[in-house]
Structure 1
Amino acid sequence: MKSGRIRRRVAGGAAALAAALLFTLVGPGAGAAQAAPICPGQKIRTLTFATGKVVLYKKRGFVCAVTYAKSARNRKPMSVSVQARGSRPVRDAGRYVRLAGPVKVHAGHRCVWIKGNVSGRGVSSGWILC
């Protein structure tokens, strides 16, 4: 065999070994990672409406909410608001493409009122999580 042919075979074998080692270390699902949620804690409720949804999370007495638009094509007026009973509402409003928030309040064991709006349509929960 000529030396060029031997070098190509050794290089090809080394490349195959490196690919197998990388696949073993990284694993088959490495490229399929999911995005982390915006709010910490456990998802406890989803309030849907015609143009979007409000997702509510809770962790250690804190309540966090995010408004998502159904269409992510252009900027539109969006808002999200969380109010713990006996406190003022915490709000995020503006012209966004995909989401408004997150908005986080300490509710403890108090009821909360959630509002979300996308392009003039929205949802208001009333007092929940009492």
Structure 2
Amino acid sequence: MRATGGGGRAGRWTAGLTAAAAVTLTLAGPGVHAASAASGCPGHQVRAVGFATGQLRVYRSGQYVCAVAVAKKPGARRQMSVELQVRGGRPVVDSGRFTRLAGPVKVRAANRCVRAVGAVSGGKGASGWFLC
């Protein structure tokens, strides 16, 4: 029985796979594992609302909902905000001058409607009430 070191068909396939993985990680960057990792929100995306200057993204994980407002063209600091509200509750807001995103903001929304609003440099997007 022959050991599979670097030679043979299996060795070449493994080496090729390793090289392809290295190239993929180099080109894609370290944050390619999940879309929510880049946003700071856990869970899966349940809503995305695009607007002229950015995008509002809403995620859900268990009983919690999380939202961020992401600039279409990151770079210079500009006014950005994100707001998340459970029906009957007060909105949770993150507002300020940011380069890439506002948020994350998180609320507990077990069996309750939520709405989100995101704004970047005067452009605005809103989800309306959902998850009811």
Residue 69 of structure 1 corresponds to 71
Contact kept in structure 1, 2:116 and 2:128, CA below 8 Å:
yes
Gaps of 5+ in 1: 1-16
- Find out whether 1:79 has 2:81 as its counterpart: yes
* 1:30–1:61 Cα change, 3 Å: farther
Q: Work out which of the two has the higher radius of gyration on C-alpha atoms and give 1 or 2.
A: 1
Identity %: 47
TM-score normalized by the length of structure 1: 0.76
Aligned residues: 115
Aligned match of 2:20: 28
Query: Contact (CA 8 Å) 2:56, 2:126: kept in 1 or not?
Result: no
Q: Where do 5+ consecutive residues of structure 2 fail to align?
A: 1-5, 7-11, 26-31
| Paired letter, 2:20 | P
Secondary structure of the corresponding residue to residue 47 of structure 1 = strand
2: CA distance, partners of 1:35 / 1:25: 18
> Structure 2 vs 1, CA of residues 113 and 29 (structure 1 numbering), >3 Å: closer, same or farther?
same
Residue 64 (structure 1) shift: 0.6
Which residue does the alignment assign to 2:60? 58
> Matched residues in 2 for 1:70 and 1:79: separation?
14
In 1, Cα distance between equivalents of 2:57 and 2:99: 17
Separation (CA, whole Å) in 2 of partners of 1:69 and 1:112: 22
Q: CA RMSD in A?
A: 2.6
